[in-house]
Amino acid sequence: MRRKMTISLHETVYEGLQRKVGRRGMSQFIENLLRPHVLATSLDDGYKAMAADKERESEASEWIDALARDCRHETR
């Protein structure tokens, strides 16, 4: 659900925003800037994407196993 709000910006900031993204793109631009600061989903999405990469996960698992073997040999 979308919610409407009113914000106040300095005139020069508003004009720069309007030049950069246009009148119709302001809301989405601001939302995209704010989202990672107010929602934890960006980090969660990144971890989910990494976990879904089976090749990367396999390489990471091999690396961890090799590191654990090295640590066991050093403590003997």
Instruction: With respect to residue 11, please indicate whether it lies within any of the assigned structural domains.
Output: no
Q: What is the pLDDT of residue 50?
A: 85
The number of angstroms, rounded, from the C-alpha of 65 to the middle of its chain's C-alpha atoms is 29
Q: What is the pLDDT of residue 37?
A: 81
Instruction: With respect to residue 9, please indicate whether it lies within any of the assigned structural domains.
Output: no
Instruction: With respect to residue 54, please indicate whether it lies within any of the assigned structural domains.
Output: yes
Cβ–Cβ < 8 Å for 39, 31: no
pLDDT per residue, tens digit, the chain (76 aa), is: 889 999 999 999 999 999 999 999 999 999 989 987 887 776 778 888 888 999 988 998 999 999 888 888 776 6
- 50: closest CA among 40, 38, 41, 60? 60
Instruction: With respect to residue 48, please indicate whether it lies within any of the assigned structural domains.
Output: yes
Instruction: With respect to residue 67, please indicate whether it lies within any of the assigned structural domains.
Output: yes
Domains of the chain: total: 1
Backbone angles phi, psi at 14, to 5 degrees: -60, -45
Q: Is the overall model pTM greater than 0.85, yes or no?
A: no
Q: Which domain holds residue 59?
A: 41-74
